Structure 1
Amino acid sequence: MTDTSPRQRIGNALSTVWGQDAIKLTALVGVLFALYIAGGFLLDFGVRQQINSLSQLLFYIAVFAMLALALNLHWGYTGLFNIGVIGFMAVGIYTTAILSKGAMMAEPAAGSTGGFGLPLWLGIIGGVVAAGIFGAFVALPALRLRADYFAIVTVGLSEIVRFTLLESSFQQTQLFGYFTGLGGGSGLILDFDPTDRFLSGLGLMDWYVGAVERFGTQFGLGSNPKPVIDTLLWALILLVFLVGFYVLLQRVGNSPFGRVLKAIREDEDATRSLGKNTDMFKIKAFTVGCALMGLAGILFYAEQGAITPDAFRPRITFFVWIALIIGGAGSNTGSVMGGALFAAFLFRGPIFLKNIIEEQIQVSAVDTFGEAVVPLFTSIDPVPLFVYTVDNMQQLQLVFMGLVLIYLMHNRPDGVLGHRKEAASSIPLARVRGGASADAAGADAADETAPVEGGEDDG
């Protein structure tokens, strides 16, 4: 054996540390936070604006990472082409809203609706269960279809959910003596604050308010720091849920159930020939994934104060798909990374960059596309086109997403982490004999029976 140098040992140790997925995820989030903090300095943000900016970034990272993980269970593990993600999110949050809104036993004024007044945690459980049941309802007939037809069914049912929410017949109704409903096109007012209910349930509300006031005074958050700290707290709560999503799906992927799902993804006929009921496995996977999408929808919209059917258009589904493609289908770590990169650069990034450019560069506005393009050909002046692009950054956001998607599909189809080999088992399969593995014993035996290098020539 040859001794390695201290530099090699340090390099090997660093390589081992960097090989851990948790380190990669932590480093990525740290870099994204550093970029946004630097952007905040360019925008002359104070402490309050910096905390608010980072809280929003963390919120969207957690939401899109959770949705990408749930979609990865469908597409990355099982090969189910679900493009109706937003429909299951809508089922989750609307069910939670109806169950947890304040109860109304008398007929309310036109345009207002109540709920059943249940505790919020029961409403969240109800929303998750409802999204899972709806997923099973979709899966039962749709799994007999090919992948492309299955995708059409999911997006079609997602739109059916949205148009059902818009239907005026369900805007207000009486059920079990309670006046409730879906709110129609006006949507529903969420008269519950998840953060306050969470703290009140733990008996920490008074301590929290006092701590926020002291924190706001010490760090210059203004006279009303609670909204900013509430946003940060909710983002941290979502981060905890994200860790739960990740651990759950990692265990599913390494379990016998998860290995069957991956086998179905690779070759369903071969898996069925081994005696596995592939339809039942797909229904279970689809139901669990839809329940997780419902939970992500609840966490996404619960703090917004109100929900309307227009918030559940298909574009959110495609955002989640882009996040999954960025990270790489089949990888839970890649799904989280994809959600973080999408949230930081493609979802919030263009608007943040626009604010920075407008703060640093003072130029006259360009009203039309013609005024922006003509100087490029007449006087080779790219400034009007650049100004026009910055002014319309929000409208061009989908264009940027499309360009990134095209680049990834051509140059990095396996995502940012590339192709990662999947172990056949979550435990080592080599037998141990006297402290050495069977593979090592076999290698030693082979060395003993093999001719010594150059032995015959030496004789």
Structure 2
Amino acid sequence: MNVDDVRRRLEDLGDSDVPLVLVVLGAIYVAYILAGVAFGYGLRGQLNSIANLTFFIGVFAMLALALNLQWGYTGLFNIGIVGFMGIGVYVTALVSKPPVAEGGAAQVGGFGFPLIVGVVAGVSVTALIGFLIALPALRLRADYLAIVTVAFSEIVRFTMMSRTFQEFTVPDTISFSVLGTEVLTLDPTADTVGLGGGGGLILNYTDPLEALLRALFLWEPYLGFVGIVEGTIIPGNPKPVLDGLLYGAVLLIGVGLFYLLLMRTANSPFGRVLKAIREDEDVANALGKDTVRFKLIAFVLGSALMGLAGILWYSGRGSITPPSFRPNITFYVWIALIIGGAGSNTGSVLGGAIFAGLLYEGPRYFKNLVQAAFELGDAPRNFGEAVAPFASLDPVPFVLYTLDSVSQLRLVIMGVVLIWLMHNRPEGLLGHRKETAASVDLARPGSGGASGNPAAADGGEER
């Protein structure tokens, strides 16, 4: 790579949306740090706040990117996102939980395989389920696919709660055969496994962060670093704080990997076919493309990424329960994608960050900030007590009641934001994008082709 190549890459970076994403991320983090100062947080509180923010930015950006592959690139209307997340983490738990579960007789065990095996199994089963769902549904119109996926997500949740699958006995020997020939035989050490029913599961397998650091031979150096910090910077036990920060950093790296994968996919011939299907499936069919096969691959890949995001979201929590997989998470991911702009990978990351920082966690921080700045007293216990003082022109009880209920009002705030976007910025914050129409320069000599930029067409993302 010569100097001209480096200069051209820097110019391309300046023309792209990456600097905008970095600026927005920096502004969100600065706002949270200033809010921590207003709350009187010490170093430990500030680091916990940053770790929590980073976690939600990471998971929502990952899920928005996965949805962008299905909807933004291919036009597949999937509103069963949380179902794929649930399959990923539950299969991982089933495979990797130790045979004898900790936490009492109400809990069930798993097969006790290493966590990496559980993650691979979770992603693989999620992809397989996505394939089975998409195989008949993709031959229907988009609204039917939406109905199928939302019904699927509810079936998954009720299956998690079912007593039938709460606990079941494992055979002494499990054999796998192909065409009558036995290819694999397993002797499970677990007597009973299950999904835990309404009580959920305790995830008493190896912590995902510890498993990753051990795989990279960094666990012992990390413990040494924790010991240094404990004695010099953060008093008490700094490990939970550092674990949160490091896990958030791992999630951001995961976002980067998701981004690179989807950018390579979008700029490949496969990705250009997906965009053609999004614009006009009949034309793509007329050009000889097997659109059902392409849509099937895109849906399966997106579902697998959603399963992986679910594993990363919930595996560090220590336990999972079926109510964690209600449809509202699906709608949160859709809001994040709409904010950034469907069809744009940088928009997906930007939308995930804005949603996590301002709409998901922001209302709670705003409430705490107002309460820290003003001595407002106790909030009324119900809506009637909040509106009654309006008769004497006293709005303070209603304001207190609203602040106290701000977490429940998040959906209202999100709805207002969506209405504003639909009226003022329906294409998302990054606006209408342009995408390369070919991997080679199609411009005529002297018409701008010398700049090294291929011809572009409306409809997607330039980079």
Shorter chain as denominator, the TM-score bin is: 0.7 to 0.9
For residues 337-376 of structure 1, the aligned pairs below 5 Å read: 337-364=350-377, 365-376=379-390
Correspondent of 2:154 among 159, 180, 184 = 159
2:109 maps to 1:119: no
Per the TM alignment, residue 15 of structure 1 is displaced from its structure 2 partner at its CA by 8.8
Deviations 1:311-360 (A, max 9, x none): 11101000000000001111000000000000001100001111111111
Aligned to 1:201: 215
Distance 1:216 1:405 in 2: 45
d(CA) in 2 for partners of 1:412, 1:171: 47
Q: Which residue of 2 aligns with 1:26?
A: 22
Normalised to the residue count of structure 1, the TM-score between the two structures is 0.88
Aligned amino acid, residue 207 of structure 1: P
Which amino acid counterpart does residue 407 of structure 2 have in structure 1? Answer: Q
Structure 1 SS opposite 2:79: coil
Taking the aligned partners of 1:123 and 1:225, their CA distance within structure 2 comes to 29
> Take 1:441 and 1:26, find their aligned partners in 2: how far apart are those partners?
30
Distance change in 2, residues 1:44/1:189 (3 Å) = same
The answer as to whether partners of 2:442 and 2:449 remain within 8 angstroms in 1 is: no
SS, match of residue 435 in structure 2: coil
- Residue 375 of structure 1 deviates from its aligned partner by 3.6
Distance in 2, Cα, partners of 1:427 & 1:128: 35
Q: Which residue of 1 aligns with 2:75?
A: 79
RMSD, aligned α-carbons: 2.1
8 Å Cα contact 1:68-1:321 kept in structure 2: yes
| Residue range with higher mean Cα deviation, 384-393 or 146-155 | 384-393
Deviations 1:37-71 (A, max 9, x none): 00000000010110110011011001000000000
Deviation for aligned residue 1:23: 1.6
Question: What's the secondary structure of 1:400's corresponding residue?
Answer: helix
2: distance between equivalents of 1:426 and 1:134?
34
C-alpha distance in 2 between matches for 1:162 and 1:274: 41
1:173–1:180 contact (8 Å) kept in structure 2: yes
Quick check: which one's helix share is greater? 1
- Separation in 2 of the partners of 1:288 and 1:213? 41
Q: For residue 169 of structure 2, give the secondary structure of its aligned residue in structure 1.
A: strand
- Aligned pairs for 1:81-120 within 5 A: 81-104=77-100, 110-120=105-115
Do 1:37 and 1:50's aligned partners in 2 also have CA atoms closer than 8 Å? Answer: yes
| CA–CA distance in structure 1, aligned partners of residues 318 and 449 of structure 2 | 65
Mapped pair 1:135 → 2:149: no
SS in 2 for 1:422: strand
SS in 2 for 1:114: coil
Q: 1:297-322 deviations in whole A, cap 9, x for unaligned? A: 00000100001111111010000000
Is the partner of 1:78 in helix, strand or coil?
coil
Q: 1:235-288 CA deviation, whole Å, 9 max, x = no partner?
A: 111111110000000111111111111111111111101111110011000000
Determine if the alignment matches structure 1 residue 64 to structure 2 residue 60.
yes
How far did residue 294 of structure 1 move?
0.2
Alpha-carbon distance between aligned partners in 2 of 1:341 and 1:413, rounded to the nearest angstrom: 16
Q: Deviations over 1:385-438 (max 9, x none)?
A: 22221111111111111111111111111111111122212443347xxxxx46
Q: 1:227 to 1:438 in 2, by over 3 A?
A: same
Partner of 2:230: 216
Q: 1:405 matched to which residue of 2?
A: 418
**Hey, what's the Cα distance between the residues in 1 that align with 2:117 and 2:213?**
16
* CA shift for structure 1 position 101: 1.0
Report the alpha carbon displacement of residue 17 of structure 1 after superposing the two structures with TM: 5.7
1:14: Cα distance to partner? 11
- In structure 2, the residue matched to 1:37 is 33
Q: Distance in 2 between matches of 1:255 and 1:359?
A: 52
Label 1:109 to 1:303 Cα distance change in 2 as closer, same or farther (>3 A).
closer
Q: CA deviation at 1:218?
A: 2.2
2:17–2:346: 8 Å Cα contact kept in structure 1? yes
Structure 2: how far apart are the matches of 1:372 and 1:112? 44
CA distance in 2, matches of 1:272, 1:310: 42
Map 1:60-459 onto structure 2 (within 5 A).
Answer: 60-104=56-100, 110-177=105-172, 178=190, 179-192=192-205, 193-219=207-233, 221-364=234-377, 365-376=379-390, 378-430=391-443, 437=445, 439=447
- Show structure 2 runs of 5+ residues with no match: 1-8, 173-189, 451-463
Task: Give, in angstroms, the shift of residue 172 of structure 1.
Answer: 1.2
Q: Give the gaps of 5 or more residues in structure 1.
A: 1-12, 432-436, 443-459
Structure 1 position 51 matched with structure 2 position 47:
yes
Indicate the residue corresponding to 1:3 in structure 2: none
8 Å Cα contact 1:216-1:225 kept in structure 2: yes
Distance 1:110 1:275, change over 3 A: same
**Aligned match of 1:449:** none
Native 8 Å contact 2:443 2:449 kept in 1: no
Select between 194-203 and 61-70 the one with higher mean Cα deviation: 194-203
Q: What TM-score do you get using the length of structure 2 for normalisation?
A: 0.87
Of stretches 360-369 and 282-291 in structure 1, the one that deviates more from structure 2 is 360-369
Is the Cα contact below 8 Å between 1:18 and 1:24 reproduced in 2? Answer: no
Deviations 1:170-191 (A, max 9, x none): 1111224322111111111111
- Separation (CA, whole Å) in 2 of partners of 1:43 and 1:391: 17
- Distance in 2 of aligned mates of 1:426 and 1:131: 33
Q: Deviations over 1:199-234 (max 9, x none)?
A: 223332222112112123322x22100011011111
Report percent identity of matched pairs.
54
**Higher Rg:** 1
Contact 1:135 1:287 in 2 (8 A): yes
Q: Are residues 127 and 269 of structure 1, via their aligned partners in 2, closer, same or farther at CA, if it must alter by over 3 Å?
A: same
Query: 2:428 aligns to what SS in structure 1?
Result: coil
Equivalences, count: 421
User: Residues 54 and 248 of structure 2 are in contact (CA less than 8 Å); yes or no, is this contact kept in structure 1?
Assistant: yes
Counterpart-to-counterpart distance in 2, 1:15 and 1:359: 45
Q: Supply the distance in 2 between the matched residues of 1:196 and 1:29 (Cα, whole angstroms).
A: 27
Partner AA of 2:108 in structure 1: T
